[in-house]
């Protein structure tokens, strides 16, 4: 089993917030494809990183999680590209972690 996590930005590159419907669409797509999804909508995560010029960049992101029995890397790569276009991002982080039910 794997836990797949998607981190989506709350704001576009000009600082305007994305409409709630974009996140609702992602939640509905993931629930429809995998039978369930968890979206952390009330407490956005804050990401900080250093850009190529050495400047500190910040993103407020919403976290989506899906548990999958098997990891279809090709499907997730296609979906990541879809999200990059939809949210006008150079890169969207989609990561998978091994998960074990205790």
Domains located in the chain, CATH noted: 2-89 (3.30.70)
Contacts of 93 (CB under 8 A, 6+ apart): 5, 6, 7
Q: What percent of the chain has pLDDT over 90?
A: 65
Compare 46 and 99 and report the one with higher pLDDT: 99
pLDDT at position 26 over 90: yes
Phi, psi (rounded to 5 degrees) for 46 = -115, 125
| pLDDT value, residue 4 | 97
Q: Which position has the token pair 């509905």?
A: 28
Residue 39 has pLDDT above 70, yes or no: yes
Confidence band for 46, pLDDT divided at 50, 70 and 90: low
First-to-last CA distance in the chain?
Answer: 12
The β-bridge partners of 50 are 56
């Amino acid at each position: 089993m794997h836990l797949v996590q998607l981190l989506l930005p709350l704001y576009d590159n000009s600082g305007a917030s994305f409409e709630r419907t974009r996140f609702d669409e992602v939640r509905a797509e993931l629930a429809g494809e995998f039978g369930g999804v968890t979206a952390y909508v009330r407490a956005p995560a804050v990401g900080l990183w250093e850009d190529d010029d050495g400047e500190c960049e910040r993103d407020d992101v919403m976290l989506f999680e899906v548990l999958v029995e098997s990891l279809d890397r090709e499907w997730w790569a296609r979906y990541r590209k879809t999200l990059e276009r939809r949210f006008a991002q150079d890169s969207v982080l989609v990561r998978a972690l091994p998960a074990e039910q205790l």
